[in-house]
Amino acid sequence: MENRYNPKDIEKRWQDRWFATDMYHAKDFDSKEKYYLLAEFPYPSGDSMHMGHARNFTNMDSVARLRRMLGQNVLYPIGWDAFGLPTENYAIKMKRPPQEITKENIATFIKQLKAMGFSFDWDREIDTTDPEYYRWTQWIFLQLYKKGLAYKAEMPINWCPKCKVGCANEEVVGGRHERCDEPVEQRNMNQWVLRITKYADRLIDELDKTEYWESVKSAQRNWIGRKTWYDIDYKVEGTDITLRVSTTRPDTQFGSTFVVVAPDSEVAEKLLKYIPEERITDVKQYIEESSKKTEEERIVGQGEKTGVETGLVCKNSITGRDLPIYLADFVLSTVGTGMVVGVPAHDKRDFEFATKYGLPVIRVIEGLDGDRSEIDSVEKVYEDEGIVFNSDFIDGMKSEDAREKMGEYIKEKGIGDVVIRYNLRDWIFSRQHYWGEPIPIVHCDKCGEVPVPEDQLPVKLPEVESYEPTDTGESPLASISEWVNTKCPKCGGYAKRETDTMPNWAGSSWYYLRYIDPHNNKEFADMEKMKYWMPVDHYEGGSEHVTLHLLYSRFWHKVLFDLGLVPEVEPYKVRTIHGVVLGKDGSKMSKSLGNVITPDELLEEYGADVTRAYLMFMGPYEGDVSWSTEAINGVKRFVSKLYTYILALWVKKDDKLAENKDVAKLVKKVHDDILNFKFNTSISALMQFYNSNIDSTFSTADIERLILTIAPILPHMAEEIWEKTGHEFSVHMQRWPEIDESLLEDDVIEIPVQVNGKLRGKIEVSSDATQEDVEKIVLESQILGDVEVKKLIYVPKKIVSVVV
RNA sequence: GCAGGAAUGGCGGAAUAGGCAGACGCGCGGGACUUAAAAUCCCGUUCUAGCAAUAGAGUGAGAGUUCGAUUCUCUCUUCCUGCACCA
């Protein structure tokens, strides 16, 4: 029974030994080639590590282990993104300090990650809630502040009237507060804002310097939403007001039939005094009503257009036609100039509005095959580009050219402008919560806003009695007078601390830099060390972070770059997205569905190596995978068989044998698959090797190759076998096996023969056979029978195709 | 609506510089061991017909290019993910 696989006996022993040495420590300035492998750091929730964490870290761990064996100096770090609402909410509920809760949660996570046997460099562990960490988060904020990239402004925030708390956008789902399901309202509050829009162009253009997946790049571009707008002045008749309407499709100008102004815009206010008496009551009532609509009602009301006629008319300065002016809240004051020109033939929303108010529809863009038919239903509205007709000086042009011409025209005539605009808004950086980094600013009556001097950082979060948000919407910090009341660093007079804290995104915007130099108390990271390690070679994470987190961290990085504080413009060279581990039925694992399976249960039942192998085997790493208990049992069977198998091979090893082809092929396949993130097929390859070599005998060198090959995948088992076969600790510090490349090619290969596209037989040929050789073999074989051969194609080493 | 991606046996999936479709695993069927069960091991397993050798069909649907298409092109359908009354 000695060779029976029993992970419980092995795994803990090797983990203790690994973590007692510094074998996974990444050495600064090592002459080996560096490789920085970053997996998103987890939020240490009270529910312990979930399956998604286990899967991602497992996959990345196999890459880290393989690359070390290939002779690279691998930085594979771990840390904790520990500020955040779940912990704060839990603290409020339990009436315990979040600091304590966070410590406990982290301790649980560490235990679990170590039990999985991940090869993190534990010397570089970081925690965003550690004052020695957030000191530098605050320091970076001050650099932004000094550069004029952080400012305070009245900004609308989401306000939950039930909880009496300001909510971040990420806490609002479908217009409702995530925590209590109450609809949120808009409230104006003085907020810290970061000027990310200043970097909008570079955040798009410098994507070219990265090798992100296309889907990641396009998510970034879409979020920023850079577009060319054409603003055109229309004079309102009988007034001195000019409406500057905005459009991205000036090629449809000659199809315009009305103008809509957002009811909450300043212009709407100005128009009021000219509105004829018989309309004024209706208009005022409409403005009133739409201002009361919550975000949720607006979304629900989508499709059902409401609006009001002002009775005013303006002149389209391109076409010279008079257009009636409406107020309608489907037009947003924050988009473009908050005024749009209605072209019902070429915009669905405009069409719906026009139908409701009986406005004319004029088509000016040809459809496919010169289609100029009337637009009489929403389905027929033609929003694509095409050839412009009935349009005076842009007649017959393609949409693209018409736009350019129109841009020149309005600039020439001085009736408008061409403007680049973005969907991206400045980043609201304030949170009125306790569990975040305090914003290091004090407010002095005399000196105004004063940044906390750098030598007084960190501004530590005070210990308080209560973490509950206050009625006023202020952070709970506001009620701690001994903390709030302070001296002005400039004049020494009375001053108050800023009580807003930073959002969860702050600490994670630069953590990859801190891993490089986690214990530095002079600066956030040493420049020479950053020059050695940066950029991150591969950043792996969830799809939920490819817009905001990625954008925010790229923004901070660029600011640091401009200040000469980091060596590269872009922080991450490659960014990939992993799939999600779903429950058995393909739905999300959730407590309410009762389909949650935790890594803890698996470790208990199967041990770390089987769990790891299964997580790799489940499916392609970028896709979602459903949990299957049956399937992990299959992997368990295989892993235990493999264990006894390799030990048995060692007993009957035969050194008279030459180097084995199958072993060479396996070494190559596992190497390629792991580096290409095809973890599932690396496991298949092991299984296949086992199946076809159950009765084989190998030389010492080949068995050693085999053990080394499983090391990145089954790290504990490989270590155990390595020891049992009389080798010295540790298998993970060995070089990846060298193989004789010539063994990868077979001398004699079996080639399929196709006749008229159908498989009809197979022949054996030597790998260097010529077309003539093959032709002869095929004709001599019985495959073709008695037919006339018209053509014979031999694709070397692939196939023979015969046409008869 | 826009952007990105996907569709292959009963299930998860494999194979794309165009070259034997279904590797590998699960499940299922049969057998061995067992008083019996579990575990383990062996054989089989895309579908249809046939005892079989074998023949035909087959990678969401339809067309096209090609000696040859899961892979390339066009049209369409469905699904997932992110964003969105963004004009």
pLDDT digits (tens, 9 = 90+) for A145-167: 999 999 998 877 777 777 666 66
B68 C1' to A781 CA distance, Å? 21
pLDDT band at A296 (very low <50, low <70, confident <90, very high): low
The single-letter DSSP state of residue A421 is: E
Q: What pLDDT is recorded for position A182?
A: 74
- In this predicted structure, the answer to whether residue A295 has a pLDDT above a threshold of 60 is no
Contacts of range A372-381, beta carbons closer than 8 Å, 24 or more positions apart: A375/A344, A375/A345, A375/A351, A378/A348, A378/A351, A378/A352, A381/A344, A381/A345, A381/A346, A381/A347, A381/A348, A381/A351
Whether A617 and A680 have beta carbons less than 8 Å apart is answered as yes
Q: What pLDDT is recorded for position A64?
A: 97
Nucleotide nearest to A688 (CA to C1'): B24
Q: What pLDDT is recorded for position A154?
A: 84
Residue type, A374: E
Give CATH superfamily name and number for A138-204+427-504: HUPs (3.40.50.620)
Nucleotide nearest to A758 (CA to C1'): B68
Q: Provide the CB-side half-sphere exposure for A10 (13 A, CA).
A: 26
Nucleotide nearest to A329 (CA to C1'): B85
Report the C-alpha dihedral over residues A662, A664, A668, A673, rounded to 10 degrees: 30
CA–CA gap between residue A154 and residue A189 (Å, rounded): 5
Residue type, A7: P
Per the annotation, does A591 bind a ligand?
Answer: yes
Report the C-alpha dihedral over residues A52, A54, A56, A58, rounded to 10 degrees: -160
Beta bridge mates, A748: A766
B83 C1' to A223 CA distance, Å? 7
CA–CA gap between residue A756 and residue A788 (Å, rounded): 12
CA–CA gap between residue A609 and residue A642 (Å, rounded): 12
B69 C1' to A754 CA distance, Å? 15
Give the 3-state secondary structure of residue A655: coil
Residue type, A185: E
B73 C1' to A57 CA distance, Å? 40
Q: What pLDDT is recorded for position A479?
A: 83
Q: Going by DSSP bridges, is the β-strand pair A34-39/A538-541 parallel, antiparallel, or unpaired?
A: parallel
Compute the 3-state secondary structure of chain A and give helix, strand, coil in percent, each to the nearest 5. 40, 20, 40
Mean pLDDT value across chain A: 89
Residue type, A533: W
A757: Cβ–Cβ under 8 A, 6 or more apart, which residues?
Answer: A801
CA–CA gap between residue A30 and residue A154 (Å, rounded): 50
B45 C1' to A121 CA distance, Å? 47
Whether A624 and A55 have beta carbons less than 8 Å apart is answered as no
Q: Do domains A138-204+427-504 and A226-422 have the same CATH topology?
A: no
B40 closest protein residue (CA to C1'):
A637
Q: What is the 3-state secondary structure (H, E, C) of A246-266?
A: EECCHHHHHHCCEEEECCCCH
The single-letter DSSP state of residue A607 is: -
pLDDT in tens, A516-552: 999 999 999 999 999 999 999 999 998 888 888 999 9
Question: Lowest-pLDDT range, A290-294, A385-389, A676-680?
Answer: A290-294
Beta bridge mates, A281: none
Whether A661 and A743 have beta carbons less than 8 Å apart is answered as yes
Length of chain A in terms of residues written: 804
Nucleotide nearest to A331 (CA to C1'): B85
Nucleotide nearest to A339 (CA to C1'): B87
- In terms of pLDDT, which residue wins out, A526 or A178? A526
B70 C1' to A764 CA distance, Å? 27
Q: What pLDDT is recorded for position A1?
A: 39
B4 C1' to A720 CA distance, Å? 45
pLDDT in tens, A204-260: 999 989 988 888 888 898 889 888 999 999 999 989 999 999 999 999 999 999 999
Give CATH superfamily name and number for A226-422: Valyl/Leucyl/Isoleucyl-tRNA synthetase, editing domain (3.90.740.10)
Which tokens belong to A622? 């970028």
Neighbouring C-beta atoms of residue A564, cutoff 10 Å: 8
Q: Is the peptide bond before A458 cis (omega within 30 degrees of 0)?
A: yes
Q: Where do the structural domains in chain A lie, given as residue ranges?
A: 138-204+427-504, 226-422, 746-803
Alpha helices in A360-495 (DSSP H): 399-413, 481-484
Q: What pLDDT is recorded for position A301?
A: 55
pLDDT band at A574 (very low <50, low <70, confident <90, very high): very high
Which tokens belong to A536? 């991150």
Mean pLDDT calculated for residue range A557-563: 97
pTM above 0.80, yes or no: yes
- At the topology level, CATH places domain A746-803 in Ubiquitin-like (UB roll) (3.10.20)
pLDDT in tens, A364-392: 998 767 788 888 888 788 888 888 999 99
CA–CA gap between residue A478 and residue A484 (Å, rounded): 6
Question: What are the DSSP calls for A514-554, one per residue?
Answer: HTTSTT-SSSSS-HHHHHHHPSBSEEEE-GGGTTHHHHHHH
Helix axes A599-606, A629-651, angle to 10 degrees: 40
Nucleotide nearest to A245 (CA to C1'): B87
- In terms of pLDDT, which residue wins out, A298 or A400? A400
